[in-house]
Amino acid sequence: MKKLQLLFIHSDYMEYEAKEKTRVAEPISESRKKERVEEVLVVFIAVEREDEKDVKYMVEKASEEAISVFHKVGAERIVLYPYAHLSSELASPERSIEILRGMEEDLLSRGVEVKRAPFGWYKSFTLRCKGHPLSELSRKIKGREGGGAEAEEVEVEKLSKALEAEEKAESHFFFMDTGGEGGLIRTEDFEFELDKRDNLQKFFVYESEKRRAVDKVPPHVELMKRLEIADYEPSSDPGNLRFYPKGKLIKALLEEYVRNSVAEYGAVEVETPIMYSTRHPSLKDYLERFPARQYSMAGKGGKPDLFLRFSACFGQFLMSKDMSISYKNLPLKIFELASSFRKEKRGELVGLRRLRKFTMPDMHTLCKDMGEALKEFKKQYELCMRVLEGIGFFTKDYEVAIRFTREFYDDDANKGFIDELVRIAGKPVLIEMWDQRFFYFVLKFEFNFVDALGKASALSTVQIDVENAERYGIKYVDANGEEKSPIILHCSPSGAIERCMYALLERAYLEKERGVLPMLPLWLSPTQLRIIPVAERHLEYIEEILPVLNGIRTDVDDREETVSKKIRDAGRDWIPYVAVVGDKEVEKNTLSVTIRGESSKSESKGEQRQKQKVEEMDVFELKNRVGELIKSKPFRELPFSYKLSERARFVGG
RNA sequence: GCCUCGGUAGCUUAGCCUGGAUGAGCGGCUGAUUUGUAAUCAGCAGGUCGAGGGUUCAAAUCCCUCCCGGGGCUCCA
C-alpha cells in the first residue's frame, strides 16, 4: 500500500534554489532553478513505497487535502516541495515525480497558482512560517488496499478518514449499552434510537468531529441578556462576564447547593490562593506541558512570575503535601468552590458555555489504593447524578462518556466495573479508549450536555489521577508505618456553575421549541411568585397577605399598567406563579394563580392563545404548595425591591 | 491565534450594495386612563452610526488598522 506524507507550512514567503543534481534529478530549465513565492502554503511531500495502480487516486486525495488546507489558512499560492526526509520508505523516483507532476496539474486545473520545486536536486531554501495555530499541519494520505475497484472508493475513503482521526487522537470510540453482557460496541455497529432527537448521536458526532456549520447566536446568549442574568463586559478581558442581580442570585444558589451536597458527602471545604509562582518546581512541570492557557503576571524584570490558577488542584495538592495523613483518614475529601481562570483562545469563548473566568466546584479525594479509588469513583459517579438531578438535569438531559486507557480495560476486573457504571446510567454510553495514557488519569467520566446547536459540553466529571501525588510529594502513612503515595480523584460534581446556567437556559430554549413554556427550576427562579393587583385599591390587601409568603421570593407588580401588560411581562420573565388580585379575590380572600409549569404554549400564527392553568386558592394553600416544592433547596431573598415600580432595569427591551 | 460574518438610541433594528441633512418599534420620562389574564392612548427626551485613520466637495455608507461579539478551524490540564 502506498502512502503519502504531507507537511504544510503557511508562510509569509519561501525562497529556494536548486544547487546540485543528485542521482535521481529531473531535468529542468535554468528559469525553474530559483524562485521566491509570497503568501504561500508550502507543501512538503514524501511519497512512500509503491503501487502503480494508485497514482491517480493518490494525486486526487493529496490535492484535495492541499486545497482544503489552502482555503482554510487563506494562502494565496502553493509551493510543492519534494522532501524525502519525511519518510524512511520512499517510493521510486519515477512514481514520486509522477505524483508531484500530477498534483501540480491537478492544482493548476483548479485555478490555484502553483510552483513545484525541482525533484532530485540539492536545494537551499528559506521560509518564514506565519506561526498561527494552523500554520503547521501534517497529513498522511493512504492508498486503497490493493488499489481496488472504483465502486469501493467511497467506503475506503470513509475508512481512511476514520483511521486518520484515530491516529491523531490515538484513541478509539465505542458504545456500551445496559444489556448485561454489554462489552464494547463498535461505533459503526451501534444503532441510535431513531425516534426523537438522539443526543447520544449528536454527542458522538460532536466528539468525532464533522460539525455542521451554524450561523446563529446560541440561544442562551440572548436569554442571559434578556433575562438580566449576565452579560459581556467589554472593558474586561473577553470571557470575564458581569452578572446582574438575577444572575448573581441564581449563581449563588447553585453554589450553595453544590457546597451543601459535597459537605453532606463528607468533604471538608478549604480555600486556597488564586495565584501561584511559576517558579515552584511541581507547578513548573505542569505549566511546561500546558503553557498557552495561563493568565500570567509579570514579576521582576517583566518576566512572568505569577499565574492565575486554572483549577483548585494546585492549592489543594500543595496543602495536602504539608498535611500528616494516616490511612485511617482515607478516603480524604477536600473541596473548594474555586474561581478559576483559563486563557482560552479567543474564538473558543461563547456566552456562559466557555469562559476565561469561571467558578469550578473542585473536590479531590485521596485514596489509599486503586481498589479504594474505584469504590470512591463509583460513589462519586452517583453523587454527580444526584447533584445534577437536584439542579434539574435528569439522565435524559445529558450524555455519559466514560474514558480509560487500554491498559485499564485489559484488566478483566475493571471490565465489570465499567459495565456497572453503564448499568447505573441506565442508557447507552459513549466509550473512549486511549492507547496510552497521555494525561495524568487512567479513567474518567463526564456527563455532557448537548445544546440547541448540537454542541456538547461537560458538566460533572471524575478522574482517577495516578501521577500527581508523586509529583507534589503527597504521602500518607499505612498500617505498617510506611509512607505511601495515594491515588487522587478529581471530581466536579456539577461542572462549572456558569456552565450549569448555560445548560439550564439552553434546555429551556429547547423546551420552548417543543411547545413547552420555558422556565427555570422553581428554586432558581429569581421571582417565584408575582402578585398582580387589578387596581391600586387592591394593594392594601396584598400588603396584608405578603407576610404569609415569607420564604418565597414574591414580588408585586404595582406599576401603572394594564393587567394584560403585567401578565405578559410576567410571562416574559418566566415567572412560575402569577397571582392576580381584584375585587373578587379580596372579597373571597383568595388569589387567582396562574401556574406556568402546568400551562401550555400554543404555537402558530398568533391565532391561538396559550392555555393557562389558573387555580383559585387562598394564600396559605399557595404558600404550602410552593414551600413544599422548594424546601430541600437553598433559599435567598429577592435581590431587589419587591415593588416593581421601584426597581431599576439592568438591560433594556 | 487564523478564516468568516456582524457592531446604528438602554434593547431590537431600517438605512450601507448604488456616498448627499440617521428613521422606527420596545423601554424611559410627562400627561390622560384605574384597568380582570400575553402589548391603553398621546406627547417629550434620547445617536461622537464600535474606535482611529484614509479616499472624497461630501462617509453610517467606500478603503485600511484596531476593539467587541457570532460562527468555523484549532483547543479544552
Q: Which nucleotide is nearest to A207 (CA to C1')?
A: B76
Query: Is the C-beta atom of A629 closer than 7 angstroms to strand B?
Result: no
Question: A31: which residues sit within 8 A by CB, 6+ positions away?
Answer: none
Q: Is the CB of A614 under 7 A from strand B?
A: yes
Using the predicted structure, report yes or no on whether residue A507 has a pLDDT greater than 70: yes
For residue A80 the three cell numbers come to 510543492
Confidence of residue A469 (pLDDT cuts 50, 70, 90): very high
How many whole angstroms separate alpha carbon A225 and alpha carbon A252? 18
Asked which of A36-50, A240-254, A581-595, A634-648 is least confident by mean pLDDT, the reply is A36-50
Dist. CA A71–CA A116, nearest whole Å: 19
CA nearest neighbour of A122 among A28, A19, A16, A15: A19
Residue type, A162: A
For A95, phi then psi, to 5°, come to: -65, -40
Helix (H) or strand (E) holding A317: helix A313-321
Q: Is residue A367 classed as helix, strand or coil in its secondary structure?
A: strand
pLDDT value at position A147? 36
Cell of A131: 506561526
Q: Hey, is A204 helix, strand or coil?
A: helix
Query: Residue A394 pLDDT more than 50?
Result: yes
Q: A222-272, pLDDT tens digit by residue?
A: 899 999 999 988 788 889 999 999 999 999 999 999 999 999 999 999 999
Q: Is the CB of A649 under 7 A from strand B?
A: yes
Q: Which of A78-87, A293-302, A532-541 has the lowest mean pLDDT?
A: A293-302
Residues 547-586 of A with CB under 7 A from strand B: 560-565, 567-568, 571-572, 578, 580, 582-585
Measured CA to CA, the distance from residue A382 to residue A375 in angstroms comes to 11
d(CA A543, CA A531): 10
Query: What's the pLDDT band for A159 if we cut at 50, 70, 90?
Result: very low
**C-alpha cell recorded at residue A594:** 396562574
pLDDT score of A546 more than 90: yes
From the centroid of its chain, how far is CA A399?
12
Q: What is the Cα–Cα distance from A496 to A310, expressed in whole angstroms?
A: 12
Cell of A491: 471530581
| Helix (H/G/I), strand (E/B), else coil: A399 | strand
Region for residue A472 given its phi and psi (left: phi exceeds 0; alpha: psi -120 to 50; beta: otherwise): alpha
Of the listed ranges A75-84, A93-102, A132-141, the least confidently predicted one is A132-141
Residue A12 has pLDDT above 50, yes or no: yes
State ipTM: 0.89
Nucleic acid strand B: bases within 7 A of protein CB? 1-4, 10-12, 25-28, 32-40, 67-77
pLDDT at A470: 92
Q: How far apart are the first and last CA of chain A?
A: 64
User: Which residues of A spanning 144-203 put their CB closer than 7 angstroms to strand B?
Assistant: none
Nearest to A509 by CA among A574, A565, A568: A574
Distance CA A368, CA A373 (A): 7
Question: Can you state the percent helix, strand and coil of chain A, rounding each to 5?
Answer: 40, 25, 35
Q: What is the pTM of this model?
A: 0.77
Name the residue closest to B9, CA to C1'.
A652
pLDDT the model gives residue A29? 79
Residue type at A305?
D
Find out whether the peptide bond into A331 is cis, omega within 30 degrees of 0: yes
The per-residue pLDDT for range A102-151, each reduced to its tens digit, is 888 888 888 888 888 888 777 878 777 776 666 667 676 665 544 332 22
Average per-residue pLDDT for chain A: 84
Strand A529-533 and strand A554-556: the pairing is parallel
